[in-house]
Amino acid sequence: MPLKRKIRTTLNPDNLIKKQKHDSNQSIDIPIKNCLMWFRTDLRIQDNIALHKASTMIFTKSEKSKYVFAIYLISPEEWRSHDVAPTKVDFLLRNLKELKESLNELNIPLIIESVDNASDVPGVVIDWCKRLRISHLFANIEYEVDEMKRDKQIFNLATFNSIKLEMLHSQCIVNPGLLKTKEEKPYRVYTPFKNSWFRYVESDLSILEPLPDLFPNSKSIRISYLETFSFKVPSSIPGFEISSELAKISRLNFPAGEQYCHSLLSQFILQKASKYSNARDILSQNGTSSLSPYLASGIISARQCVYKAFKANNNKISTGNSGIVKWIEEIIWREFYRQILAAFPHVCKNMPFKKHFKNIEWNNEEENFMRWCQGKTGYPIVDAGMRQLNGMGWMHNRARMIVAMFLVKDLLIDWRKGERYFMNHLIDGDFANNNGGWQWCASTGSDAQPYFRIFNPTTQSSKFDPTGEYIRKWVPELKHLDSKQIHNPFGVLKGSEFKKLGYPEPIVDHQKARIVALEKFKNFCVRLLPLNARERLVNSNALPSLFLKDVNVPYFDYFSFIKHVNLPELWLSIEEWFIHNNQYFSMDYGLQVEKQLKVYKELLKHVVDRSESLIYNINLEDCNYTSFSVPFLFDLSEVIPKGSHLEVLQCFTWWPGEIFEDFIKIFSQVDMLILHCKEDNEMLANFLNVSKGLKALRINSTIASIPLISNALNLKARSLEYLEVNAGGSISLEIFSECDNLECLIVTKDDDYFLQNIFDEIKNMRKLSLKDYRKINFKDTAKIISTTNFHLTSLCLLWEEESDPENFSLLVSTIIVHCPKLKNLEIIFNENSASKILSLLCSCDKLKNLYLRNTKDWNIDMWMQNLGQVIPKTLKSLKLQNSFTFTLKSLKKFLFECERNSINGLRFNIQDGGYWIEEEHINILNDSVEKGILDASSQTSWMDPREFMQQVLLVLDE
């Protein structure tokens, strides 16, 4: 029997609403007497759906003797069991006072009653209903499991007492449960949820409009029910007291009341929202809205927030000002986590969203946990975050992510302990967001960080608190440190200086902790057909126990296996590996085995189902078209949705046309293409003709004429931004004269055509690379460079033979004049041109990477000694081909000059190790690494399609 997921349908909020409707259809309509509004996490009068409904019901009946009452129950036991922070209770009480006053102006009394036992809550509400002659009880839904259980009891009690309970959705703009995947399932991944959310709201923008103002009660209520106006809001609750200092800070940072909250929102939208995209991550900047306490307690609705943003964004919601859209997307995260809570109630029961993570063995070392809580871990950024939480009851989002990740991945402490500590201290403690945030950081949640992504706290610190201002504010022991020392004082300062700070040493070594964490988590995210997935399937009788053998590639019949496997369950175990692989699904190597393909295809279906926004990366280079992989590839259109986005396609032109016919049905866009041309292919040409895009193209190994493909590429030429031609011969290169937008051109193997045509108009060129040229000379190259309009940042000029030595000075002076932004230079030179290279270096004051090459062995002793004097301070990497040799003396002189010239952290690399290098060379180099002049490094040359894509992006994003 396959595994079945148990879902507790009775606690689904929509079921509760359906039940209300069902029961009310069956009972006689209850005559309206008075209405009671039960406030819970919705302490506002504006845009409060339940309150509005109650008020409208009384007003439309226009009966002066019928009224709306309001009630709030103080329930310390419930608060304790949900770890509500004292500072949040204080905030609630302050807001209750404001709410009471606002209601008072509408002649609505607010009854406040304390209930000692949580189980008494339903009875107390119904008692009040009886006392006040309530016929209709209104409340907004709370999605947590305990709250839903409580409301179910109230519903039964109310029905028994002939009171109609109306529960309404008011926490979200798009109610949980409304948006579903194509398979009618709740979303588990944020991005498709967000896209669907935008589509839904954009289809009817009136959803965003807040409700109109409330109708007041008739003043006569003050005569008939005077005593109900006399309730007082207590100023504190025993067991939830806070220190006077925290009370002061809390009042200063988070004043109470709807009015204040709306002025905060307006100020944010007016002054900060447009810069939100960048400012939101900088810890010392007050770049976020600080509205979370108000949203968490319902002082403001999400709809009011988004409506204001929408108006400021010229009535746009998913487009327009990027800062505003980003902010709206954060509110959508809030909606996402609420729908997760409603659809997967097991998250409320201390369970990870991905249940297979429940068996991780945590270290849970109490001492480490205490130090984390107190902000004494020795990692300044973590400590600053925790001290901000302890000091003001709130923490910046970036800091929340850093400290949470640190607790789980560096200290290997159960995320639930952190989640609880947060709830116990946050003024904005909100179960859905907190649980979602923690599970995201712990990699156990819906759309969580993959387990192998572990924040380095020191890097995070220098990136998001570059000046150290945030750390200085919260960790005063470090306030005198400069912006370099402050992120890692233990690593940077001398022992004695560090001791003087009175600040703790790091409790763990991040690098070691990272490795341990990876091992721990890896057990839960195994590769194809993982043991634990097999175990689960065996335990649930989905598979016979012979499948339990711990072998990497199990020897069993995949076909019968697949019949037994419950793929959605298996999917849970391997989802990290697929989906979080940068959102790319790569169909490459390992496709040869028919049975494996079958599994692969089934899994692909599940990958696709779970991520609408999946981007495909197809590498057909390794496929053998006589093998089984072909039928599988022909079927792709059954699996991959129409209109999908193909980011990189790597293929041979001799692949069967049917494959490309399939691609035409599926992909509407191809961004990058790596083409191995051997012959023409009509279907591939058709596919290129109908697909949009094509920013980058690499052509390899042309030996035959390919007019159809050439024509297709011709039409794409205008959009090309990156072009790499590693093919000589018969490809028709005329197309490239159309490449007006080209930013990067790499040509190996020459073709006369380039000389005459392509270089006329390359004004946008930022990277130019000419390799293995025979016919081109320095003069022509200089001419080409002079047309690039001063944009070039990378230049690579490699010839097999130097064909034009006399024009080398012209080339160098052209580079000097026309390449003021040059950052990367790769060039061949010899004895004759050596001095020119030195003068070139003198003028390249932005150079970062320099690769010097030669085609034959050459001793560069003299030259090397001068090199240290001229290399720019910006240089970070110097590579020499191993055909250059030099003595120890010149190496020392070079390093001495580098030191004198204040060169720091230069990566010095002799390609392929340099076979002539002796031990003494190595010792000298190591010495310089220790002194900080050099930085050790290595290099690789192999490049797979993913790297190709990264290289393209790097050039285009520069």
Ligand X SMILES: Cc1cc2nc3c(=O)[nH]c(=O)nc-3n(C[C@H](O)[C@H](O)[C@H](O)COP(=O)(O)OP(=O)(O)OC[C@H]3O[C@@H](n4cnc5c(N)ncnc54)[C@H](O)[C@@H]3O)c2cc1C
Alpha helices (H) along 165-219 = 190-203
Taking the complex as a whole, how short is the minimal distance between the CB of residue 42 and ligand X, in angstroms?
14
Contact status: 651 vs ligand X (CB under 6 A): no
Q: Token pair of 82, please?
A: 């949900």
End-to-end CA distance of the chain: 54
Contact status: 439 vs ligand X (CB under 6 A): no
Contact by Cβ (8 Å): 807, 780: no
Taking the complex as a whole, how short is the minimal distance between the CB of residue 441 and ligand X, in angstroms?
5
Is 916 known to be catalytic? no
Taking the complex as a whole, how short is the minimal distance between the CB of residue 273 and ligand X, in angstroms?
9
Is 330 known to be catalytic? yes
Contact status: 441 vs ligand X (CB under 6 A): yes
Q: Of 35 and 341, which CB lies nearer to ligand X in the complex structure?
A: 341
- Residue-wise DSSP of 733-747: GGGGGG-TT--EEEE
Q: Of 436 and 914, which CB lies nearer to ligand X in the complex structure?
A: 436
Contact status: 331 vs ligand X (CB under 6 A): yes
CA distance linking residue 923 with residue 919, whole number of Å: 6
Residue count, binding to ligand X (CB under 6 A): 28
- Stretch in the footprint of ligand X (CB under 6 A) among 125-133, 289-297, 549-557, 905-913: 289-297
Contact status: 333 vs ligand X (CB under 6 A): yes
Contact status: 424 vs ligand X (CB under 6 A): no
429 annotated ligand binder: yes
Contact status: 274 vs ligand X (CB under 6 A): no
Taking the complex as a whole, how short is the minimal distance between the CB of residue 140 and ligand X, in angstroms?
16
Q: Of 402 and 895, which CB lies nearer to ligand X in the complex structure?
A: 402
Taking the complex as a whole, how short is the minimal distance between the CB of residue 376 and ligand X, in angstroms?
19
Contact status: 433 vs ligand X (CB under 6 A): yes
Is 397 known to be catalytic? yes
667 annotated ligand binder: no
CA distance linking residue 75 with residue 279, whole number of Å: 39
Contact by Cβ (8 Å): 569, 1: no
| Residue whose entry in the numeric block shows the structure tokens 């035959």 | 704
Taking the complex as a whole, how short is the minimal distance between the CB of residue 281 and ligand X, in angstroms?
10
Contact status: 861 vs ligand X (CB under 6 A): no
Contact status: 306 vs ligand X (CB under 6 A): no
Type of residue at 845? D
User: HEC string of 136-171?
Assistant: EEEEECCCCHHHHHHHHHHHHHHHHCCCEEEEECCC
79 annotated ligand binder: no
Is 571 known to be catalytic? no
Contact status: 338 vs ligand X (CB under 6 A): no
193 annotated ligand binder: no
CA distance linking residue 109 with residue 100, whole number of Å: 7
Count the neighbouring beta carbons within 10 Å of the beta carbon of residue 508. 17
Strand 858-859 versus strand 877-880 pairing type:
unpaired
What H or E segment, with its residue span, contains residue 609?
A: helix 594-610
Determine which residue in the list 437, 445, 457, 945 makes contact with ligand X, applying CB under 6 A.
437
Count the neighbouring beta carbons within 10 Å of the beta carbon of residue 376. 17
Q: Which residue is nearest to ligand X (CB)?
A: 437
Long-range Cβ pairs for the range 527-535 (8 Å, 24+)? 527/574, 527/577, 528/574, 528/599, 528/603, 529/554, 529/570, 529/599, 530/573, 530/574, 532/356, 532/573, 533/356, 533/569, 533/570, 533/572, 533/573, 533/574
Alpha helices (H) along 650-806 = 657-666, 682-690, 707-716, 752-756, 778-786
Contact status: 411 vs ligand X (CB under 6 A): no
Residues whose CB is less than 8 angstroms from the CB of residue 921 and which lie 6 or more positions away in sequence, other chains included: 888, 891, 914
- Stretch in the footprint of ligand X (CB under 6 A) among 100-108, 210-218, 223-231, 437-445: 437-445
Contact status: 630 vs ligand X (CB under 6 A): no
858 annotated ligand binder: no
Determine which residue in the list 48, 55, 434, 794 makes contact with ligand X, applying CB under 6 A.
434
327 annotated ligand binder: yes
Q: Of 169 and 334, which CB lies nearer to ligand X in the complex structure?
A: 334
CA distance linking residue 697 with residue 674, whole number of Å: 6
333 annotated ligand binder: yes
- Stretch in the footprint of ligand X (CB under 6 A) among 228-236, 394-402, 683-691, 739-747: 394-402
- C-alpha pair distances (Å), 815 with each of 332, 588, 765, 808, 841: 51, 41, 14, 11, 11
Alpha helices (H) along 62-144 = 76-81, 86-105, 121-131
Return the CA Rg of the chain.
34
Of 438, 474, 577, 799, which residue is the catalytic one?
438
Of 79, 372, 415, 474, which residue is the catalytic one?
415
Taking the complex as a whole, how short is the minimal distance between the CB of residue 342 and ligand X, in angstroms?
15
Contact by Cβ (8 Å): 183, 51: no
330 annotated ligand binder: yes
Alpha-carbon dihedral sign for residues 25, 30, 31, 37: negative
Contact status: 617 vs ligand X (CB under 6 A): no
Q: Of 294 and 754, which CB lies nearer to ligand X in the complex structure?
A: 294
CA angle 77, 83, 87 (to 5 degrees): 100
- Stretch in the footprint of ligand X (CB under 6 A) among 55-63, 68-76, 423-431, 555-563: 423-431
Q: Of 317 and 670, which CB lies nearer to ligand X in the complex structure?
A: 317
Q: Token pair of 202, please?
A: 């954009």
Of 107, 241, 362, 904, which residue is the catalytic one?
362
226 annotated ligand binder: no
428 annotated ligand binder: yes
CA distance linking residue 948 with residue 696, whole number of Å: 10
257 annotated ligand binder: no
CA distance linking residue 277 with residue 294, whole number of Å: 22
Taking the complex as a whole, how short is the minimal distance between the CB of residue 461 and ligand X, in angstroms?
16
Contact status: 426 vs ligand X (CB under 6 A): yes
Contact status: 429 vs ligand X (CB under 6 A): yes
Contact status: 297 vs ligand X (CB under 6 A): no
Q: Of 57 and 141, which CB lies nearer to ligand X in the complex structure?
A: 141
394 annotated ligand binder: no
Q: Of 127 and 330, which CB lies nearer to ligand X in the complex structure?
A: 330
Is 38 known to be catalytic? no
Burial of 680 (0-12, 13-18, 19+ CB in 10 A): middle
Q: Of 223 and 252, which CB lies nearer to ligand X in the complex structure?
A: 252
Contact by Cβ (8 Å): 616, 949: no
Is 333 known to be catalytic? yes
Determine which residue in the list 44, 169, 303, 334 makes contact with ligand X, applying CB under 6 A.
334
CA distance linking residue 214 with residue 53, whole number of Å: 9
Q: Of 369 and 422, which CB lies nearer to ligand X in the complex structure?
A: 422
Site residues, ligand X (CB under 6 A): 280, 288-292, 295-296, 330-331, 333-334, 337, 397, 400-401, 404, 422, 426, 428-430, 433-434, 436-438, 441
Annotated binding site for FAD: 276, 288-292, 327, 330-337, 428-430
Q: Which residues are catalytic?
A: 330, 333, 362, 397, 415, 438
Binding residues: 276, 288-292, 327, 330-337, 428-430
